[in-house]
């Protein structure tokens, strides 16, 4: 698995320190801490999975569904009207998510692959780390297969990221996507349909767009956009 960036580690540490009643993860355990008005949390677990949810503010929503074994999900929401939806449908998948601000939305789905190679691989072990700070940022992310990892960092307002990671029929996944959006109205769409592909996108400014499609093995791409209204399209296959 790829190393989690230091900034994510610090941000996640703050959220879980605030959840003071929780000293650590325990097998088959869900813990919810809510401070504010009209916050909502929904959790479904099967066996040996772990959830921690911390909500500080008003009208925040979290939904976590863990089907399978040994999943971990941690969600922190500080602000109002944020929403996070997590579905872990394989085994040993991991999600850490933080939302600061108002009206941010995130949706993460992690699931088995239906390809033959999945029966001989790790059967999931997907990782997702997300951070949203500001107003009305949107994240939609789907990981299908084994050993995929994604980190998304959105700061300011109205940024959107869409990521799909799906493994190649002849190999395990191992795809990695890293997206940083600093500004307003930026847009990223990343599709990885292969194995051992890496995509990095950094947007610093407003109204930038990037479309990345990787459909092979061992592809590597980097998009750096500074300023406003830049556009990039990358196809690797």
Polymer length of the chain? 237
The two three-digit tokens of residue 126, written as one number: 């997907």
Element (H, E) at 6: helix 6-18
In this prediction the pTM is 0.86
The dihedrals phi and psi of 150, each to the nearest 5 degrees, come to -145, 135
Residue 48, pLDDT above cutoff 80: yes
**133-149: burial string, b at 16+ Cβ within 10 Å, e else:** bbbbbbbbbbbbbbbbb
Mean pLDDT of 51-80: 96
Mean pLDDT of 49-66: 97
CA-based nearest residue to 60, from 87, 83, 94: 83
Element (H, E) at 68: strand 61-69
Element (H, E) at 54: strand 50-58
Instruction: Give the pLDDT confidence of 77-133 residue by residue, as tens digits.
Output: 999 999 999 999 989 999 999 999 999 999 999 998 766 554 555 678 899 999 999
162, β-bridge pairs: 140, 189
Place of tokens 């395990």: 172
Mean pLDDT, all residues of the chain: 87
Residue 74, pLDDT above cutoff 90: yes
Spans of all domains in the chain? 6-19+85-236
């Amino acid at each position: 698995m790829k190393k989690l960036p230091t900034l994510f580690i610090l941000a996640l540490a703050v959220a879980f320190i605030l959840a003071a009643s929780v000293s650590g993860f325990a097998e088959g355990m869900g813990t919810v801490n809510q401070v504010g008005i009209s916050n909502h949390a929904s959790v479904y677990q099967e066996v040996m999975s772990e959830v921690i949810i911390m909500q500080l503010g008003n009208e925040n929503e979290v939904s976590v569904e863990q089907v399978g074994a040994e999943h971990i999900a941690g969600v922190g929401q500080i602000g109002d009207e944020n929403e996070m939806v997590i579905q872990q449908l394989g085994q040993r998948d991991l999600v850490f998510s933080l939302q600061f601000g108002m009206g941010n939305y995130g949706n993460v789905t992690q699931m088995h692959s239906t390809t033959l190679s999945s029966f001989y691989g790790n059967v999931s072990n997907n990782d997702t780390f997300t951070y949203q700070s500001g107003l009305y940022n949107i994240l939609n992310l789907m990981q299908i297969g084994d050993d995929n990892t994604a980190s998304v960092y959105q700061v300011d307002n109205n940024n959107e990221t869409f990521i799909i990671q799906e493994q190649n029929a002849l190999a395990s996944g191992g795809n990695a996507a890293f997206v940083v959006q600093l500004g307003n109205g930026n847009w990223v769409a990343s599709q990885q349909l292969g194995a051992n592909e890496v995509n990095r996108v950094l947007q610093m400014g407003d109204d930038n767009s990037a479309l990345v499609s990787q459909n092979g093995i061992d592809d590597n791409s980097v998009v750096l956009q500074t300023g406003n209204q830049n556009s990039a399209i990358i196809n690797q296959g």
